[in-house]
Amino acid sequence: MTNDRVSQVAADAQASAAPREKKVSLGWIRSASVVAGVALLFIVFSVLTSSFYAPSNLLDILLQSSINAMIAVGMTLVVMARGIDLSVGSVVGLTSMITASLLPQNFLLGIVAGIVLGVLCGLINGILIAKLKLPDFIVTLGMLSIYRGAALIFTDGKPIYGIDATFRAIFAGDVGGIPTPVILALAIALLAFLVVRYTAFGEQIIAVGGNEEAARLAGINIDRVKICVYAISGLLATFAGFVLIGRIGAAEPIGGAGFELQAIGAAVIGGASLFGGEGNPLGALVGALTLGAMQNGLTLLNVPSFWQLVATGVVVIVAVFADQVTRKRR
Amino acid sequence: MQIPNAETPSKPLLQLRGIAKAFAGVQALKGVDFDLRAGEVHALMGENGAGKSTLMKILFGVQPPDSGTIELDGVGEVAIDDPRHALALGIGLVSQEPSLVPQLDVAQNIFLGQTEALGVVPRSQFQARAREILKPLAPRLPVTARVGSLGMAERQVVEIARTLARGGKIIGFDEPTSSLTPAERDGLFALIRQLKSSGKGIIYISHRIPEVYAISDRVTVLRDGRVVASRATQEVSADELINMIAGRRLAEELQHSAKPVVRAGGTEALRLEGISAAGKLHDINLTLRTGEIFGLAGLVGSGRTELARCIFGADRKDAGSVYVNGKPLDLRQPADAKAAGIALIPEDRRKQALVPNMDVERNFGLANFQQYSPSGFLRLKQRRQDIERYIEEMAIRPRRAGVRIRNLSGGNQQKVVIARWLQSGARIFLFDEPTRGIDVGAKFEIHELMRRLAKDGCALLVISSELPEILALCDRVGVMRGGRLVQTIDDCSDLTEDLLMKYASGEVTRS
Ligand SMILES: Nc1ncnc2c1ncn2[C@@H]1O[C@H](COP(=O)(O)OP(=O)(O)OP(=O)(O)O)[C@@H](O)[C@H]1O
Ligand SMILES: [Mg+2]
């Protein structure tokens, strides 16, 4: 027998495209491993630090994760429709700048303008992808740059200080000891979950992501579905921006930089498949919490933030890898 | 030609013993014995889901068996752990679902993974070899065409050529003709006879009984993962064969379902005027009446699928108009066609009709959101009731609405797709290869369903490469060639397969 058949591997990867089936459902293994991973994380940090398990710190983790959770819910919907949105971080920056600048003049206008702009950013993404059939990766990567550039141009790169107190109370206050961002994130995720489960739109997202051609031939308006998920993603990024400036008390044009990776990571850890057609908005919550807990624990251990970036990247890549392995094989 | 007698006890090339295989919840094979001799074609038949493809995948090392042994002549017992190993042992498989790389061209696909055999051979040289291999099958298929742009039949041909290019002593063909027209099928049969006379062993899987008689020496029938019988083909009658495949009841029904009485066409349902699409369709005029089944025959690439897709708004037309119930309609996308009461049951179920990860109920609902969620929220209870009714009426198996559709057999998947469109209230049905890859039993049921639709006053356009299907089902027949409707036959009483073939190939131009 020859062992010089390396090149044949490619062919056989093809031939075995309908590959070996595991007897235990891979989906189940996956969920179990996410839960196990989170548990391990909590145990390790609780052992290594004295403060990790303190209720105040746990609340802190929730609070810190809530921004990512909101974006990740939108990202989950996009990914379920077999898309990707790399522009979310820039949308956070742009919309929060606009809102921060308008708040002093007119409270309501500030909020509405931010929301409208966020949805508009998403619509532009969606229209370019659905109508012009441009690749989602390139469009949103380009928009990542454009929206960020717009935010920087808007105030010539300067931050805006002094966010309205009422605004801060709404988006970064608390109700009975529970931070409003946490409530907001939970509500958003729950709503998205209900949409996915019980509405026509939710099923259409799964259908478009699961088999776009079949969805189209069943008479589903696939362009509309795609445009809508990107618009929702823009909207949720805007809310995340509101929380961000509410917490900081200032808006920076570079606010939200790098959020896209965190959101994709949370979505994938939470069970969204980059192959489309699968995902769970509630899972995105779990994913965001996982990343949040890890970053919090590393901070407590005095790991420099540069290394936290490395750790986050590793976790996200591992999660995507796990997704590849478990989903592709069937 | 010398046909080796099935009884000759020549040493088998291949001997499978007691092969068993279970998937989550399904025992696909329950101890199957199967052997293959040099120079014979051994047909493998059985209902959808009987386990034929699973047996082939085990032989080809795609899946390991749970138990059982594989013995090869001159090698002894082997555990084939991956396709690479199988190829090295001289086993080739034309799989049921072509696994080609859409981005590469035909020649590249044919020699994918064999570059070391070719060294740094210039492109033109292996293109020439590809052309040579394709010659008996599809002489006009350009070897530089991107596979992604090809239709199902052409992809199937490439898959066959790829397996042949790799050589081997044992070659399995898993429903190789399901998308082929008679001309290509004949080319394939000639090839198989050649392989046979050079002493190779061929396993031939098909749902088509005439093909099995035409090509095989022995036939083995599987049912529910067990061997029902293994006989010399010439010794079994077609009736017996159907009995073995589907059980007694069906054989009788099949015998007694003769050609339907010619229905007098009702009122005009669909009229096409001057439909053209660049390079694909030229000036198609056609009228479809309520209560009739209109068949479309033609060779691969003659434009039949293209026509159906144009009518449905799935592809763009450049000129011409579509009238539904006498009213001109502008159908730009499938959603418009659906709204006009048109349904398309596409040729490639897996790629074009199903969302494999969704369950039966949701797949059923895909074209029916208007009904089940006028407010946006789904009326799940209503939908569940409806699909359960269809499951009963159409005998969809398994009986559960919550199973993922990819776990259903081809015939059952097709029934779900039809149920989807029945529920949508469509009155005009475009069926593209409605029984491709579907077993005799389910095929019979689907034919019955189509006849019932016609009786209820729907208009049916049926594309089929299987001429007996057209003859058995249709009231009127059109023949397409090179993107034109070259012939319309209103009285099918003395239409034959032969004549249809001649129209399709252009040998005869006027009746
Ligand atoms: N990967 C899989 N996972 C789960 N079940 C499977 C898998 N592959 C096959 N099965 C099941 O095993 C049984 C046998 O399937 P198989 O594909 O071998 O049937 P077949 O005889 O080739 O049918 P067909 O005529 O439709 O091609 C079926 O019940 C099928 O649903
Ligand atoms: Mg099969």
Kindly state whether A28 is in contact with chain B, defined as any CB-CB distance less than 8 angstroms.
no
| CB neighbours of residue B6 within 10 Å | 18
Residues with CB under 5 A from ligand 2 (ion): B 52-53, 96
Kindly state whether A194 is in contact with chain B, defined as any CB-CB distance less than 8 angstroms.
no
Q: Where do we find the tokens 């802190």?
A: A60
Mean pLDDT value of segment A291-311: 91
Signed CA dihedral, B7, B9, B15, B18: sign only: positive
CA of B408 relative to ligand 1 center, distance in Å: 8
What are the domain boundaries of chain B?
Answer: 264-505
Verify whether ligand 1 is closer than 6 Å to residue B413 (CB atom).
no
DSSP B340: T
Mean pLDDT value of segment A255-273: 93
Look at residues A92, A67, A75 and name the one whose alpha carbon lies nearest to residue A232: A75
Q: Which CATH architecture group holds B264-505? A: 3-Layer(aba) Sandwich (3.40)
For ligand 1, atom 30, the nearest C-alpha belongs to B49
Which ligand 1 atom sits closest to the C-alpha of B63? 1
Pair B199, B39: CB distance under 8 Å: yes
Pair B431, B295: CB distance under 8 Å: no
Tens of pLDDT, residue by residue, chain B (511 residues): 444 444 444 679 999 999 999 987 778 999 999 999 999 999 999 988 889 999 999 999 999 999 999 999 988 999 998 999 999 999 999 988 888 888 899 998 998 877 655 556 677 888 898 999 898 888 888 899 999 888 888 888 999 999 999 888 999 999 999 888 888 889 899 999 999 999 999 999 999 999 999 999 999 999 989 999 999 999 999 989 988 888 765 655 655 555 555 556 689 999 999 999 988 899 999 999 999 999 999 887 789 999 999 999 999 999 999 999 999 999 999 999 999 999 999 998 989 999 999 999 999 999 999 999 999 999 999 999 999 999 998 888 888 999 999 888 888 899 999 999 999 999 999 999 999 888 888 888 899 999 999 999 999 999 998 888 999 899 999 999 999 999 999 988 888 888 888 888 888 765 4
DSSP characters for A76-120? HHHHHTT---TTHHHHHHHHHHHHHHHTTT-HHHHHHHHHHHHHH
* Terminal alpha carbon distance of chain A: 29
Chain B segment 348-377 residues within 8 A of A by beta carbon are 351-358, 362, 365-367, 369, 372-373, 376-377
| CB neighbours of residue A53 within 10 Å | 13
| CB neighbours of residue B368 within 10 Å | 21
Mean pLDDT value of segment A82-104: 97
Identify all chain B residues contacting A19, using CB atoms and an 8 Å cutoff.
62-63
CA of B280 relative to ligand 1 center, distance in Å: 36
For ligand 1, atom 24, the nearest C-alpha belongs to B48
pLDDT of residue B117: 55
Chain A segment 210-249 residues within 8 A of B by beta carbon are 210-211, 213-221
| CB neighbours of residue B456 within 10 Å | 11
pLDDT in tens, A182-221: 999 999 999 999 999 999 999 999 999 999 999 999 999 9
Mean pLDDT value of segment A143-165: 96
Residue A330 distance to chain B (closest CA, Å): 11
Question: Using CA atoms, how far apart are residues B47 and B57, in angstroms rounded to an integer?
Answer: 17
By the 10 Å C-beta count (0-12 exposed, 13-18 middle, 19+ buried), A323 is classed as buried
Q: What are phi and psi of B9, to 5 degrees?
A: -85, 60
Q: For B348, which residue in chain A has the nearest alpha carbon?
A: A214
Q: How big is the A-B interface in CB pairs under 8 Å?
A: 140
Residue of B104, B342, B369 to mutate for A, most A C-beta atoms under 10 A: B369
pLDDT in tens, B254-285: 555 555 555 566 899 999 999 999 888 999 99
Q: Two tokens at B212?
A: 């099995």
For ligand 1, atom 6, the nearest C-alpha belongs to B23
Contact A198 B378 (CB under 8 A): yes
Verify whether ligand 1 is closer than 6 Å to residue B49 (CB atom).
yes
User: A3-8+52-328 — its CATH code?
Assistant: 1.10.3470
Question: Using CA atoms, how far apart are residues A265 and A214, in angstroms rounded to an integer?
Answer: 29
What are the domain boundaries of chain A?
Answer: 3-8+52-328
Kindly state whether B496 is in contact with chain A, defined as any CB-CB distance less than 8 angstroms.
no
Which ligand ends up closest to the CA of B411? 1
pTM for the full model? 0.85
Task: List b or e across B134-146, with b for residues whose CB sees 16 or more CB atoms inside 10 angstroms.
Answer: bebbbeebebeee
Identify all chain A residues contacting B367, using CB atoms and an 8 Å cutoff.
218-219
Kindly state whether B419 is in contact with chain A, defined as any CB-CB distance less than 8 angstroms.
no
Contact A215 B60 (CB under 8 A): no
